[in-house]
């Protein structure tokens, strides 16, 4: 036990009511007991072992392109923090023989030691920014290169990090590398204490994690979901992805009664709240099919991507009130006409690319209904925006290969 562990104990006690309310599972695994989650003991591996830590669904999705490339040369461990992230990791990578999906340990030193003794990574990549002091310190002590991949640190988050920079400077200084998305992120992460020669701009892997090829028909999964809920694919469909508080009611009001609206809340704990905001909606989880309905709630995990395939217009949630936006890249890659609210500060890099390409519409709450009607009535406009969006995505792809080289290079140097 160290001083940091002693600090974690009272924090954990104070946070216990919140933790219990979230109903998280896998506590034994969070304490570092992940042996049952591995397909084989780490000792049996004859290849380098690359660990990628992805907090939740968004970070897991960013690995879609990288992991299949890595397994050609390495065994891969994908660790996750949230229950939804675990489900998504298992859905995407669980069937790949050379990939293990495990829970990330709490940052108490004895839990981290137990985890590292079991997993035995040769290099660790922390997706976007997830710097836990004990984990990084213990990796450094064991000679395991550890760094940030797909790094991003928003201006809002940087304000918080800067307040505790004196506590985190040594943690950032221990990082072996940081692959960041753009110059702004480089400046902020470097200011936290990592040496400048360890930071490189590699772009965002999220551009690689989506399929920007042209498909003439939706996937079998998308058709199955539509048929199961009674969605009429011959009629226009608006899909609102990753919505936040207040947005379900806003969308319900913004869309005319005969417009098919599919709403997918960002957080699972808000599913019931969203259903109440859109009275009479058809819930995917209820396995109910109501042909002729116009309001649908996608209250499941891992199906939003398929639903985007069916959309004529996509509205990006968490962007119309006091949150900070959601990722617009996936529907853009599908060539959809995308609308987003003005609150999108967590995705400025992606938004900058799409805005420069005239490939997304930014509207406020009062304009949302008008924007949806205009797009639904103008097929040529929808197609033009969608084509420009897909072109933007294709122009940004390639970051995963850069990350691949960095991770394998550090893994091999760690074995010397």
pLDDT in tens, 317-348: 999 999 999 999 999 999 999 999 999 999 99
User: Residue-wise over 99-123: b if at least 16 C-beta within 10 A, else e?
Assistant: bbbbbbbbbbbebbbbbbebbbbbb
Distance CA(414)–CA(416), nearest Å, equals 6
- Answer yes or no: is 89 within a domain: yes
Tokens 């753009």, located at residue: 182
- Report whether pLDDT(416) > 60: no
Kindly report the CATH number assigned to the domain that includes residue 65.
3.40.50.11720
The mean predicted confidence, pLDDT, of the chain is 93
pLDDT digits (tens, 9 = 90+) for 78-125: 999 999 999 999 999 999 999 999 999 999 999 999 999 999 999 999
231-256: pLDDT as tens digits: 999 999 999 999 999 999 999 999 99
Is 226 exposed, middle or buried (CB count within 10 Å of its CB: 0-12, 13-18, 19+)?
buried
Q: How confident is the model at residue 216 (pLDDT cuts 50, 70, 90)?
A: confident
Three-state secondary structure call for residue 129 = coil
Look at residue 264 and give its three-state secondary structure: strand
Asked if residue 11 is part of any domain, the answer here is no
Residue 4 has pLDDT above 80, yes or no: no
Asked if 28 and 54 sit in the same domain, the reply is yes
Cα 93–chain centre separation: 15
pLDDT at 206: 93
Query: Do 185 and 252 belong to one domain?
Result: no
Domain span at residue 371 reads 220-396
> Helices 165-173 and 155-163 meet at what angle, rounded to 10?
100
What percent of the chain has pLDDT above 90? 84
Residue 224, H or E segment: helix 220-229
Mean pLDDT of 49-58: 95
Same domain, 309 and 375: yes
Angle separating helix axes 133-141 and 3-21, nearest 10 degrees: 130
Please give the tally of structural domains in the chain. Answer: 2
- 188 and 238, same domain (yes or no): no
Residue 21 has pLDDT above 80, yes or no: no
If asked whether residues 203 and 258 sit together in one domain, one would say no
Residue 22 has pLDDT above 70, yes or no: no
81 and 202, same domain (yes or no): yes
Instruction: Using the predicted structure, report yes or no on whether residue 130 has a pLDDT greater than 80.
Output: yes
CATH for 267: 3.40.50.2000
Q: Is residue 197 part of a domain?
A: yes
Same structural domain for residues 110 and 229? no
Region 274-284: mean pLDDT is: 96
Angle at 339 between CA 129 and CA 350, to 5 degrees: 30
How many C-beta atoms lie closer than 10 Å to residue 42's C-beta? 17
Q: pLDDT for 167-204, tens place per residue?
A: 899 999 999 999 999 999 999 999 999 999 999 999 99
Distance CA(76)–CA(113), nearest Å, equals 19
């Amino acid at each position: 036990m160290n001083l940091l562990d002693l600090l974690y104990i009272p924090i954990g006690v104070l946070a216990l009511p919140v933790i219990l309310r979230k109903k998280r599972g896998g506590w034994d695994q969070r304490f570092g007991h992940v042996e049952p989650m591995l397909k084989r003991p780490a000792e049996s591996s004859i290849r380098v072992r690359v660990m990628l830590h992805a907090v939740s669904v968004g970070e897991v999705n960013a690995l879609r392109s990288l992991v299949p490339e890595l397994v050609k040369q390495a065994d891969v461990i994908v660790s996750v923090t949230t229950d939804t992230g675990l489900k998504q990791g298992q859905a995407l990578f669980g069937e790949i023989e050379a990939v293990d999906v495990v829970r990330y340990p709490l940052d108490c030193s004895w839990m981290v030691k137990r985890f590292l003794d079991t997993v035995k990574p040769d290099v660790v990549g922390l997706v976007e920014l997830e710097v836990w002091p004990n984990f990084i310190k213990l990796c450094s002590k064991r000679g395991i290169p550890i760094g940030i991949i797909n790094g991003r640190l928003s201006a809002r988050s940087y304000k918080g990090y800067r307040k505790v920079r004196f506590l985190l400077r040594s943690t950032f200084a221990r990082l072996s590398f940081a692959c960041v998305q753009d110059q702004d992120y480089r400046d902020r992460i470097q200011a936290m204490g990592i040496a400048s020669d360890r930071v490189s701009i590699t772009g965002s892997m999220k551009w690689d994690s989506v399929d920007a090829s042209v498909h003439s028909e939706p996937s079998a999964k998308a058709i199955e979901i539509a048929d199961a809920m009674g969605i009429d694919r011959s009629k226009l469909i608006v899909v609102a992805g990753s919505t936040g508080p207040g947005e379900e009611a806003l969308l319900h009001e913004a869309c005319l009664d005969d417009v098919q609206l599919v709403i997918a809340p960002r957080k699972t704990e808000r599913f019931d709240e969203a259903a109440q905001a859109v009275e009479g909606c058809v819930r995917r989880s209820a396995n109910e099919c109501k042909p002729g309905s116009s309001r649908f709630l996608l209250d499941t995990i891992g199906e939003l991507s398929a639903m985007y395939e069916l959309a004529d217009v996509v509205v990006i949630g968490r962007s119309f009130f006091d949150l900070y936006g959601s990722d617009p890249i996936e529907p853009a890659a599908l060539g959809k006409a995308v609308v987003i609210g003005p609150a999108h500060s967590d995705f400025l890099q992606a938004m900058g690319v799409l805005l420069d390409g005239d490939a997304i519409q930014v509207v406020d709450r009062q304009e949302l209904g008008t924007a949806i009607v205009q797009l639904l009535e103008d097929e040529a406009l929808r197609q033009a925006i969608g084509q420009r969006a897909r072109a933007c995505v294709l122009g940004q792809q390639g970051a995963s290969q850069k990350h691949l080289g960095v991770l394998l290079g550090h893994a091999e140097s760690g074995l010397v």
